[in-house]
Structure 1
């Protein structure tokens, strides 16, 4: 029986792309590098900030310069992460319904934990019981470690939760943690990518998440 729902953040509950693109291009301009398109940035999102910068800079960029560009990006993004960011349509209603029905809710993101906590506080108020993000000593997704920490804090077992995300990294994380997953198509990866990485279910709108959870609980967890 599903008792807890774990959400990814970027591309799943929050449309963060505009603030990320602005921050990336601010850093690129600072180093006289070509600015990136929305799609180019989308393609790099999901594996943490340093990996995003590695993806968008020219291949010949040295590791030393990558770190400098990353520092400019991160400093700017820390100050502007909520300028244009907003929940996807239907997400607040979904979270409200899940909370009213007694589900435990968590976020597990490859953003730094302080950003996850700040965005959850500013945008989602008290919906989430647990906010997990990148922190020293804990491998980021697709490693399952943050999922395991969330499970422990939620006091739930693997078969009592479902993980919801928009990317290959999220589906891989769920598979590594041996939990069910829901892939959402309104985020930063295609339905084909979600299928390829073995999403348990795929949905096109937030209300479908509630329907799947109700169906799973009605028929058991097999």
Structure 2
């Protein structure tokens, strides 16, 4: 079932996707990298479901939530740096596209939609993963960069809209978390929340997103309006 308001309303010709939990299932590689890092610094490991709930605000938030509360700021920076270096080398060991995603992106591209990816993940890793799994079907990518505020600030989405030369009414953002819903609202565009990612459907419904799609076919129909 698709939960949305304004049936028949056109979504326009630009789709901006979140990456983790939306296009790619990155959970295993993230959890492995988090626990490798925690082990290295002799901190307790985290369960995969814990890591799943921590994803959505970028590496800084992920590591902050994964560490014990009494870690100093200096140690936090050391752990974060180690994690980022390790994950960059191991980001594609178990990661893969969610079922139907490649077909969806190919179809949207063939139908002349402009396609962007905006993620809180590091910019270089975002570009490498998107190129590896989706090739040239994605027009532009943007990950975390110094000087650009992370979601839920609208900055990265607005930059992508400017790059794709699309208007707010022509654009929809697709994500899997409360951060994505808030970021899209802050950017003044519609957001579709998918239920196959890192948040349960019940949790998404609590934040009352404008659109909810349970599978790729529903998402495609929603985008087409």
Normalising by structure 1, what TM-score? Answer: 0.94
User: Partners in 1 of 2:17 and 2:150 — Cα distance?
Assistant: 15
2:46 to 36, 51, 54: 36
Note the alpha carbon deviations across 1:60-114, whole angstroms, 9 max, x for none: 1111111111111111101000111000001001111111111000000000111
Corresponding position of 1:177: 187
Question: 2:164 aligned with 1:164, yes or no?
Answer: no
Q: Is the CA contact (8 Å cut-off) linking 1:7 and 1:106 kept in structure 2?
A: yes
For residue 149 of structure 2, the aligned residue among 123, 139, 146 is 139
- Figure out how many residues of one structure are paired with residues of the other and give that number: 215
Work out whether 1:25 is the aligned partner of 2:68.
no
Structure 1 unaligned residues grouped into runs of 5+: 216-222
**Residue aligned with 1:125, SS:** helix
For 2:165 and 2:224, the matched residues in 1 are separated by 21
* Partner in structure 1 of residue 5 of structure 2: none
> What is the root-mean-square deviation of aligned Cα atoms in Å?
0.9
Shift of 1:197: 2.7
Q: CA deviation at 1:194?
A: 2.1
Conserved? CA contact 1:105–1:128, under 8 Å:
yes
Does residue 118 of structure 1 match 2:125? no
Higher relative contact order (CA 8 A, sep 6+): 2
Matched with 2:79 is 69
SS in 2 for 1:6: strand
Per-residue deviation, 1:120: 0.9
Report runs of 4+ in structure 1 exceeding 6 Å deviation: none
Q: Is 2:55 the counterpart of 1:45?
A: yes
Residues in 2 aligned to 1:37 and 1:29: alpha-carbon distance in whole angstroms: 13
How far, CA to CA, are the matches of 1:207 and 1:31 in structure 2?
A: 44
> Quick check: 1:142–1:172 contact (8 Å CA) kept in 2?
yes
- Once the two structures are TM-superposed, the CA of residue 195 in structure 1 deviates from its matched residue by 2.5
Q: CA separation in 1, counterparts of 2:52 and 2:60?
A: 14
- Superposed displacement of residue 200, structure 1: 1.3
